[in-house]
Amino acid sequence: MSETAELASFREETRTWLEANCPTQMRQPVRDDDDVYWGGRNATFKNDAQQAWFEVCRDKGYTVPAWPKAYGGAGLNAAEAKILRQEMSRLGARPPLSSFGIWMLGPALLQFGTEGQKKRFLTEIARGEIRWCQGYSEPGSGSDLVSMQTFGEDQGDHWVVNGQKIWTSYADKCDWIFCLVRTDKQNKYQGITFMLFDMANQGVSTKPIKLISGESPFCETFFDDVSVPKSYGEDCPGHVGEINRGWDVAKYLLGHEREMISGMGGGERTAAIGPAMSRHAEKSGGPIDPILRGELALFDVDALAFTAMAEKFMDEMKAGKGHPAQPNMMKYVGTELNKRRHELMMSVGGSRSLEWDSDETSGGKPSRSWLRTKANSIEGGTSEVMLNVISKRILDLPGG
Amino acid sequence: MPLYHDDDQAMLAETASQFMADEGAITKQLRHYRDRDCPDGFGHALWSKFGEMGFAGMLVAEEDGGLGMGHVEAGIVLEEIGRNLTPSPFLASSVMAATALGAAGDSAKQRYLPGLISGESVFAVAVDEGAKHRPERIATQAERSGNGFKLSGKKSFVIQAVAADMIVVAARTSGADTDEDGITLFAVPKDAANMDQEPVRLVDSSIASHVTFTGVELDGDAVIGEVDGGRAVLNKMLMAGRVGAAAEGVGVARGAMDMTVDYLKQRKQFGKLIGEFQALQHRAAHLYSEVEIARAAVIKAQQLLDAGSEKADLMISVAKAKVAKTAGLAVQEGVQMHGGIGMTDEYDIGLYMKRDRALQEFMGDAYYHANRVAELSGY
């Protein structure tokens, strides 16, 4: 299908702009976490290229291209945003800025925020000034999130928050938190408020959790008599949506998160691995076992079929077709596939892939990544919860 | 092109769904002809209706009198055939033979296409020579003889050959058994002398033949495409057959799944609907996911094939392998979740299991196509 003249000229402009502005170093695949720029008060750049790429994108609104210009975006429509994505991926350009503000809080504010909130918080996110973390899960509330108990006591112009969150991504490095706080103990679903506050507030402390991968991307976060203002100025309340109706926002965001996770189907997570793996095997340990080759081939069948599903899913979403609970299916299959992928990569790698901190493995990358994937089917809703949702909402099976 | 049916295709799907549910239903077709031990394994009256509906000639080019539709459209009909287990010559005749005849000369087209389009003629395709699909190796020989050829060899798993007015036969006109080149396709009429058939009933009640050619004399008009250059037409026909079998397989999977999910909502044990048990819910939900993905793979493959993309071949093998695995899962879960009655001939779920088994084998099973995915990907 040919593009309209308008879109074709946008593509041309975008291509020229990217060629001129994206440093060659920023056209390499992301290898480590410090290749990712997260922004925030304490952010440092790994190198000049990272800084230059971020700044030029920030000034053009390309950190959040589809957000309105008034909030730091570039105001691109869906077709233009798609073209920008395609042109960036053609070049292999890294995202200039990554953050939970862009992925999670931003969409919630665009949907539920006041004008004042959007002006302030979205702009800060777009410009990479504030790095946000998400306070959802609690030690006693994982899959059963709504049982959470962190409590905010109403003190007139502010809340006093006490409790504990867990699995808070990068809480020790973040500036602000969007946090589910119980504000009515009588009402399970309609007693939660979606609050926004500064992690520098007195009484907030974080403690990194060491994972089986040896890494600590998550924290425990403690709130000890934390004072949270009800307002940050005119038209800028300290909570998103209505008081006691934070569950609506949280549910929207969970759906959005699953969509996001499941929308990654076209990327590295699901691509066929057989070609690279068999080359790797030939180089390091001799020809690949025929049975393992067979497993790789069957994996590639599933991976390539899932890639088609991801494309279909995105097409249907854009057209408003498809079942609203479909993201749960995508999340389930995508994460299970990724775990299988890393199991196979470990098998192909053999004893080399067991090395925990050798230079040859860049510090145990194969084994650490393999272990990390085990969380894929736990975080953001477990596979079992996804299957529950599919059976109830899509297949309409009876009970509970 | 978005990966879902456009408005015209959605309308065709509605028509095909209605038609197959009414006319192609299990009691009216599959059970009816099976229980009467019908020698052809399908009903010619229904086949004429395929002609009236425009289905039979849907893939035939418009300048040849057909509808000039694509594999997405043919797949829509095949999915409904799969859901209803409707026995018909559609896949072999309207999809595979029609694809081959598209490359034929005018005389063959004039001789065969009108009967196909009207649903009067039935065509079969003869590719396999052993119990497994191995089209890379073709040993059936056609030697030059006068102005024509003499065909000798043996073909297996020739579906509906017994009812066929013409069989498309892939034969070797030069080179060794495993050579890429040297293949020629022939249109062999049913009354050809020195052609013997041994029809056998398969597990799904369809009829397939072992066909033996012992010096069958064919004139030059019987050649479809180029002499010695038939591999390209054969591959086209195989791609059409594979993606078509995959589409029918998705229909089988959906039919079995829908029937099973319905049953979970009716059957009570321990005072509860069995669909309330999480052990079954999760398996049903997993099956749903697999069927959705298989379906997406098939639509992607159909679109690539219709667009003439180089990537079609790989995606067709992905789709065929994925569907074989998925439909296999659907029918096995179907019988298991139906419990004892799933083992009875009275219930239809077992018919899905039988059809799936035959369809998995037709045009290459999951292992053949997974291996092909590896080879096409360079490992």
> Which H helix or E strand runs over A328?
helix A326-349
pLDDT of residue A264: 53
Is some CB atom of chain B closer than 8 A to the CB atom of A297? yes
By a Cβ cutoff of 8 Å, what residues of chain B touch chain A?
1-4, 261, 264-265, 272-273, 275-276, 278, 281-282, 284-286, 288-289, 292-294, 296-297, 299-301, 314-315, 317-319, 321-322, 325, 366-367, 369-371, 373-374, 377-379
Query: Could you tell me the two tokens for B310?
Result: 């180089």
Which chain A residue's Cα is nearest to B299? Answer: A308
Is A398 in contact with B265 (Cβ distance < 8 A)? yes
Backbone phi and psi for residue B159, each to the nearest 5 degrees, phi listed first: -65, 135
Confidence of residue A265 (pLDDT cuts 50, 70, 90): very low
Between positions 334 and 353 of A, the ones with CB within 8 A of B are none
Place of tokens 């006093």: A160
Closest CB from B282, B322, B374 relative to A387: B282
Mean pLDDT of chain A: 92
pLDDT in tens, A290-349: 999 999 999 999 999 999 999 999 899 888 898 989 999 999 999 999 999 999 999 999
Q: Which residues of B touch A333 (CB under 8 A)?
A: 289, 293
pLDDT of residue A262: 60
Lowest mean pLDDT segment, chosen from A89-93, A124-128, A394-398, B23-27: A89-93
- Which of B254, B293, B316, B367 has the highest number of chain A CBs within 10 A, making it the mutation to test binding with A? B293
> Which H helix or E strand runs over B268?
strand B268-269
**What's the gap in Å between the CA of B298 and the closest CA on chain A?**
8
Assess whether pLDDT exceeds 80 at residue A33: no
Is A308 in contact with B281 (Cβ distance < 8 A)? no
What gap in Å lies between CA B200 and CA B209, rounded to an integer?
6
Q: What percent of chain A has pLDDT over 90?
A: 81
pLDDT of residue A266: 45
Is B379 in contact with A308 (Cβ distance < 8 A)? no
For residue A51, what are the β-bridge partners?
A: none
**What's the gap in Å between the CA of B5 and the closest CA on chain A?**
10
Which chain A residue's Cα is nearest to B366? Answer: A298
Confidence of residue A142 (pLDDT cuts 50, 70, 90): confident
Lowest mean pLDDT segment, chosen from A200-204, A275-279, B352-356: A275-279
- B303-333 core/surface letters (b: 16 or more CB in 10 A; e: else): bbbbeeeeebbbbbbbbbbbbbbbbbbbbeb
SS3 content of chain B, % helix, strand, coil (to 5): 55, 15, 30
Is some CB atom of chain B closer than 8 A to the CB atom of A315? yes
β-pairing, B141-145 vs A158-169, is unpaired
Q: What angle do CA B39, B114, B193 make, to 5 degrees?
A: 50
Which chain B residue's Cα is nearest to A291? Answer: B371
> Which H helix or E strand runs over B185?
strand B183-189
Assess whether pLDDT exceeds 80 at residue A173: yes
Assess whether pLDDT exceeds 80 at residue A260: no
pLDDT of residue B185: 98
What gap in Å lies between CA A230 and CA A155, rounded to an integer?
9
Assess whether pLDDT exceeds 70 at residue A267: no
Measured between alpha carbons, how far is residue A182 from residues A32, A152, A159, A380 in Å?
Answer: 37, 6, 11, 20
Determine the 3-state secondary structure of B316 from DSSP: helix
Is A304 in contact with B261 (Cβ distance < 8 A)? no
Is A319 in contact with B2 (Cβ distance < 8 A)? yes
pLDDT of residue A257: 77
Task: Tell me if B349 sits within 8 A of B335, measured CB to CB.
Answer: yes
pLDDT of residue A2: 63
Over residues A250-271, the mean pLDDT reads 68
Assess whether pLDDT exceeds 80 at residue A285: no
Q: What secondary structure does DSSP assign to A130-145, as a single string?
A: --EEEE--BTTBSSSG
Q: Strand locations in chain A, DSSP E? A: 132-135, 151-154, 158-169, 176-182, 192-198, 204-209, 218-229, 239-240
Longest dimension (CA), chain B: 78
Is some CB atom of chain B closer than 8 A to the CB atom of A290? no
Assess whether pLDDT exceeds 90 at residue A32: no
What gap in Å lies between CA A209 and CA A206, rounded to an integer?
10
Closest CB from B264, B289, B322 relative to A390: B289
Between positions 241 and 280 of A, the ones with CB within 8 A of B are 272, 274-275, 277-279
Query: CB-based contacts of A396: which residues, under 8 Å, 6+ apart?
Result: B265
Closest CB from B2, B264, B297 relative to A305: B297
Is A398 in contact with B273 (Cβ distance < 8 A)? yes
Task: Tell me if B312 sits within 8 A of B304, measured CB to CB.
Answer: yes
**What's the gap in Å between the CA of B223 and the closest CA on chain A?**
36
**What's the gap in Å between the CA of A31 and the closest CA on chain B?**
25
The pTM (predicted TM-score) of the whole model is 0.90
Is some CB atom of chain B closer than 8 A to the CB atom of A382? no
Q: Which of A304, A298, A374, A289 is nearest to A336 (CA)?
A: A374
pLDDT in tens, chain B (379 residues): 899 999 999 999 999 999 999 999 999 999 999 999 999 999 999 999 999 999 999 999 999 999 999 999 999 999 999 999 999 999 999 999 999 999 999 999 999 999 999 999 999 999 999 999 999 999 999 999 999 999 999 999 999 999 999 999 999 999 999 999 999 999 999 999 999 999 999 999 999 999 999 999 999 999 999 999 999 999 999 999 999 999 999 999 999 999 999 999 999 999 999 999 999 999 999 999 999 999 999 999 999 999 999 999 999 999 999 999 999 999 999 999 999 999 999 999 999 999 999 999 999 999 999 999 999 999 9
Task: Tell me if A236 sits within 8 A of A120, measured CB to CB.
Answer: yes
Query: Which amino acid does the sequence have at A111?
Result: Q
Residue A8 gets the label, from left (phi > 0), alpha (psi -120 to 50) or beta, of: alpha
Determine the 3-state secondary structure of A224 from DSSP: strand
Question: Could you say which DSSP state residue A73 is in?
Answer: S
Which chain A residue's Cα is nearest to B297? Answer: A305
Domains of chain B (ranges plus CATH)? Answer: 7-121 (1.10.540.10), 125-228 (2.40.110.10), 232-376 (1.20.140.10)
Over residues A17-35, the mean pLDDT reads 89
pLDDT of residue A270: 53
